[in-house]
Amino acid sequence: MSLNKQENLSVILNKPLDIVLENRPIPTLGKGDVLVNVKATGICGSDVHYWQHGAIGSFKVEKPMVLGHESAGIIAAVGEGVKNVKVGDRVTLEPGAGCRMCDYCKTGRYNLCPDMVFAATPPYDGTLCNYYRHPADFCYKLPENVSIEEGALIEPLSVGIHAARRGNIQSGHRVFIFGAGPVGLLCAAAAKAAGAGHVTIADLVPSRLAFAKTYYTDSQVLLERSTPGEPNIEFSRRMAQAILKTEEPADVVIDCSGAETCVQMSILLAKNGGCVILVGMGASVQSIPISEVSSREVDIRGIFRYSNTYPTAVRMISSGIVNVKPLITHSYPLKDAVKAFQHVKEGRDGAIKVQIIG
């Protein structure tokens, strides 16, 4: 294989608000690694957050970093000992690899590994480049009937699958979701795939709800903005009461917004003995109606990314249980990456998932 050393165009965040396209060297492969020619990458809210603010929680961008972590592509080269994939295979990339040595890795909860290497989480480079080096065991072959663009949606679908598993969603369950962005919609799809009998989704933006109406949800709730001066908990109680006029309390509530009022409402909308799953990342300290949690035995569970979801997600898409295609609303070539980021930030033209192609 002859790869021109100058042909690894990469989308690099130099510092907050400063994205540049630069050629980086094509990585050399170690034992068990593969080189992936990245063909499709979805832009995630976290990429936009790093671009705008340079940090998420304790993860700070301290040196230039390649962005992107929702990718699929074609195997361009394989390192020593690689058996599961070969050159030319179309694969989806699970962007985080654990150490494979600690208790968390060994017990299958590798998302909690303290030595996790995750694409586009500082200090590790992301996948928005022509050639990305990755451990072969975190690459999954795509069946013929799954496109590379669909393969790039397996990362956010994994969040939905992990949320459904953590919430122990059972057949017939009522599920209520806050946030009708890509992750909220994929939580709805995963909840339905797990057998949910009724999925409700809530958002502040009517156009998002109009889309959600066509995508794995049974009812849609338009949220109001809290009124200035009204304490959050009072607003949340008022809003939850209004919602409960038309919706029954839910077995599982999934918050994909991170907003304090939505976390509060999640607890208020869960039925006695129900479960609240926190997917969204908002303020690091929030107040919650804890007496509701105690007196009604509401379980609150955090989720951090996902583990062991990729093979499931590939089969869900291949079998038609989940259709991710309608979520891909816009695509841009790699050279127009900055325009693509701008598009996601503005959320205009009904953008749901914006992808960078080629």
Q: How far is CA 330 from the centre of its chain?
A: 17
Q: Check: CB of residue 321 under 8 Å from CB of residue 343.
A: no
- Considering beta carbons, is residue 44 or 243 the nearer one to Zn ion? 44
Q: Does 97 bind Zn ion (CB under 5 A)?
A: no
Name the minimum Å distance from CB 100 to Zn ion: 6
Identify which range of 20-28, 106-114, 208-216, 274-282 contacts Zn ion by CB under 5 A. Answer: 106-114
Decide whether 44 or 65 has the Cβ nearer to Zn ion.
44
Kind and range of the H or E element at 330?
strand 328-333
Binders in 143-172 for Zn ion, by CB under 5 A: none
Does 113 participate in binding Zn ion (rule CB under 5 A)? yes
Q: Is 250 in the site for Zn ion (CB under 5 A)?
A: no
153 or 239: whose CB is closer to Zn ion?
153
| Interaction between residue 102 and Zn ion (CB under 5 A) | yes
Near Zn ion by CB under 5 A: residue from 29, 56, 99, 281: 99
Cα-based angle 22, 27, 32 (whole degrees, multiple of 5): 150
Site for Zn ion in 304-323 (CB under 5 A): none
Contact call for residue 44 and Zn ion (CB under 5 A): yes
Based on CB atoms, which residue is closest to Zn ion, 74 or 99? Answer: 99
Rounded CA gap, 259 and 265, in Å?
10
**Structure tokens of 210?**
């109009």
Are the CB atoms for 197 and 172 separated by under 8 Å?
Answer: yes
Q: Closer CB to Zn ion, residue 99 or residue 281? A: 99
Number of residues that bind Zn ion (CB under 5 A): 6
| Residues facing residue 35 across a β-bridge | 77, 133
Q: Smaller CB distance to Zn ion: residue 3 or 357?
A: 357
Is 56 one of the binding residues for Zn ion (CB under 5 A)? no
Shortest Å, Cβ 156 to Zn ion: 6
Collapsing DSSP to helix, strand or coil, 320 comes out as coil
Q: Give the dihedral sign, CA 224/229/231/234.
A: negative
What are φ and ψ of residue 219, in 5° steps?
A: -145, 155
User: What minimum distance in Å lies between the beta carbon of 193 and Zn ion?
Assistant: 19
What is the rounded distance in angstroms from the CA atom of residue 228 to the CA atom of residue 231?
8
Q: Is 281 in the site for Zn ion (CB under 5 A)?
A: no
What residues contact 8, with CB distance under 8 A and at least 6 apart? 23, 24, 25, 26, 129, 130, 131
Nearest residue (CB) to Zn ion, 50 versus 235? 50
**105, 142, 277, 313: residue in contact with Zn ion (rule CB under 5 A):** 105
Residue 332 is encoded by which pair of tokens? 């841009």
Give just the sign of the alpha carbon dihedral 222, 228, 229, 231. positive
- Is 98 a binding residue for Zn ion by CB under 5 A? The answer is yes
The residues that touch Zn ion, with contacts defined as CB under 5 A, are: 44, 98-99, 102, 105, 113
